[in-house]
Amino acid sequence: MVASALTRRGRNKKMINRRSGLAVLAGLTTVGIGLHTAQAQTNWPNRPVRFIIPFAASGGADTFTRLLTEPLAEAFGQPFIVENRPGGGGVIGTDAVVKSAPDGHTLMMLTVTHTANETLLPNRPYVLMRDMAPVACLNRTYQVLVVNSDLPVRSVAELIAMAQASPGKLDYASSGPGTPYHIAFEVFRHAAGITVQHIPFRLSGDARNAVAAGTVPMMFDGISTMMPLIESGRVRPLATTGPVRSRLLPNLPTVAETVPGYEQVGFNGVMAPAATPRPVVEKLNAAINQILARPSTVEAFGRLGAEIAPMSIVEFEALLRADIAKRREWIRLAGIQPE
């Protein structure tokens, strides 16, 4: 019996030692994983970074991204490669980013189309604030209301009077249902008490060409992208959508000077897949804010009719959530039906 007890005691001691060894091994494995993750975050970026724009080249989002990538490459010692992935109102490119590895090597340029899509496209394969991480806000952008140069109106008041005199007879163009330009005109229509018809196009460029040619008499569009047509005299600007007059068109009134309270402000920002390590997001936010503070960046953005808008990650997240709610209300007000 004594021998049996000693045998059992020896077996128990071996089991305890084995369990302790497994626990130590598990602890070392966990530490190893933690060290590997920390090392990966410290070494980021260790290869080129893809910067996906879910819209066509030459638009505002594309232009602002390309102003950012070169200084980011200089700051981090790796190329930041722009990749345009248009389609589905921004959904195709956004979904590609959501499904990419959350390691900081895939980023996306966001516009207010994304915040509007949260209401307009309930069947999209992602939820913006669940599946993506806010990184940094870049700017605030504004639009301009233009008419074909042959349309006999020279002010917002004259345009409203013409529309009221012929309800439903005037058309306006946009780059598609639910785009910022569509929403801008629908909110304007509601605020001004006029009835006009929407003519959607697949691309902003097609809509601009239609207004310049006189096929469609008017539209809202980004100030910088509309400037060549304004300068050539093919379209006539009537007003801008910001709270104050634009530095690009300083003699042009705001819409709010005729329609009190009217304002349409957009913005661009950088997003990443939701599980991107926080230290990487913080590095990016700090670097982007430093780039935005450069006088050369302020000047370059200003030439495009945009104001820099550096923010912390928390501030940018709050802006996104507020804009989603704001655009949901505008969409309801405008009577735009989700797809």
DSSP string, 11-42: HHHHHHHHHHHHHHHHHHHHHHHHHHHHHHHH
Pairing of strands 171-174, 197-200: parallel
- Return the domain boundaries, the chain: 49-141+269-334, 143-257
Amino acid at 234: R
pLDDT tens across 158-187, in order? Answer: 999 999 999 999 999 998 888 889 999 999
Considering only CA atoms, which of 62, 179, 173 is closest in space to residue 116? 179
For residues 281 and 272, the answer to whether their CB atoms sit within 8 Å is yes
Architecture of the 143-257 domain: 3-Layer(aba) Sandwich (3.40)
Mean pLDDT across the stretch 255-279? 97
Which CATH topology does 49-141+269-334 take? Answer: D-Maltodextrin-Binding Protein; domain 2 (3.40.190)
For residues 141 and 85, the answer to whether their CB atoms sit within 8 Å is no
| pTM listed for this prediction | 0.81
pLDDT over threshold 60, residue 137:
yes
The Cβ of residue 12 has, within 10 Å, a number of other Cβ atoms equal to: 10
pLDDT tens across 216-228, in order? Answer: 999 999 998 899 9
Model confidence at 23, pLDDT cuts 50, 70, 90, reads: very low
Measure the CA–CA gap between 18 and 15, rounded to whole angstroms: 5
Which of 16-20, 41-45, 317-321 is the most confident on average? 317-321
pLDDT tens across 228-242, in order? Answer: 999 999 999 999 999
Residue 15 or 103, more confident: 103
